[in-house]
Amino acid sequence: MTKIIILGSGAAPGVPSLSNGWGNCNPNNPYNRRRRTGTYYDFASAKILVDTSPDLRLQLLDNNIRYLDAVLYTHAHADHLHGIDYLREINRINKCNLDFYATAKVLKTIKNMFGYLITSPKKVKDVVSYPSLVANKIKCGKEFLVGDVKIVPLKLDGHNTFSNGYMFNDGEIVHLADFKRIPDSTLKLLQKKHINLMIMPLTLPEGSIYHVGLNEVLEYIRILQPQKVVLNHMASECDFDEINALTPDNVFPAYDNMIIEL
């Protein structure tokens, strides 16, 4: 069995946000209170975190997560990256280094901004006193393994920085991060798969120049026919009940600490 926890279901500002408050969200519905994005995958052979939001400390505390085999990055925007420093705690608890994976462009930004956290496996000695994150460069379309979990980075297009998704175990799970278009190469690959669960970002119901809106999301769902879809990365314009009412029965808006079992 694979267990997935949505650590954060919100877009970059969180909900409520400083500029828009609760926006269109019903403040009485606890599902509308959203931290920034992060997803924890508990596979039989590996525990994997996708993205490290600025809310990571509370997310790991709330879900009692103290161990990770790997961290995967989708892109280098603050809401997906700036909690990276809390991974030091995972080093300290487990007294070992921790591998993270990112494509070349994302890795370059991470190294520029957070180079002090990164070491090479050969230099790892005292993980309590010294930063001990180990960088692994990955390529879209090229499979790699964490434990027995097969992972393929997926090219995405149209966000205002390079962004990629991930396919786990030949389509058991597809995790997409911020995008405006799914390029043909990725669509062709995914159309051949039987997708059990797809995690998709929504951000705004009507979309924006850098993000898909609900109509585009539903069109991609029609093309790819996943069994179950969870929508995350929602801003204060996305009320939980409203999005739920606008989506088919197999599409669920995410909420913080939502657990999905496959």
Listing DSSP states for 197-240 in one string gives: EEEEEEESTT--SSS--HHHHHHHHHHH--SEEEEEEE-TT--H
Nearer to Zn ion, 198 or 202 (CB): 202
Cα(154)–Cα(97) distance, integer angstroms: 26
Is the Cβ–Cβ distance between 3 and 197 less than 8 Å?
Answer: no
For 126-186, list the strands marked E by DSSP: 133-138, 144-146, 149-155, 164-168, 173-175
Q: Which region, judged by CB under 5 A, interacts with Zn ion, from 48-56, 157-165, 176-184, 220-228?
A: 176-184
Name residues contacting Zn ion, limited to 66-95 (CB under 5 A): 79
Query: Strand pairing partners for 253?
Result: 231
Under rule CB under 5 A, residue 178 binds Zn ion: yes
- In whole angstroms, the minimum distance from the beta carbon of 203 to Zn ion comes to 7
Nearer to Zn ion, 178 or 239 (CB): 178
- In whole angstroms, the minimum distance from the beta carbon of 13 to Zn ion comes to 10
Phi-psi region of 207 (alpha: psi -120 to 50; beta: other; left: phi over 0): left
Under rule CB under 5 A, residue 55 binds Zn ion: no
- In whole angstroms, the minimum distance from the beta carbon of 53 to Zn ion comes to 9
The phi, psi pair for 59, rounded to 5°, reads: -65, -40
Under rule CB under 5 A, residue 256 binds Zn ion: no
Nearer to Zn ion, 102 or 127 (CB): 102
- In whole angstroms, the minimum distance from the beta carbon of 68 to Zn ion comes to 21
Name residues contacting Zn ion, limited to 104-163 (CB under 5 A): none
Residues in touch with Zn ion (CB under 5 A): 79, 178
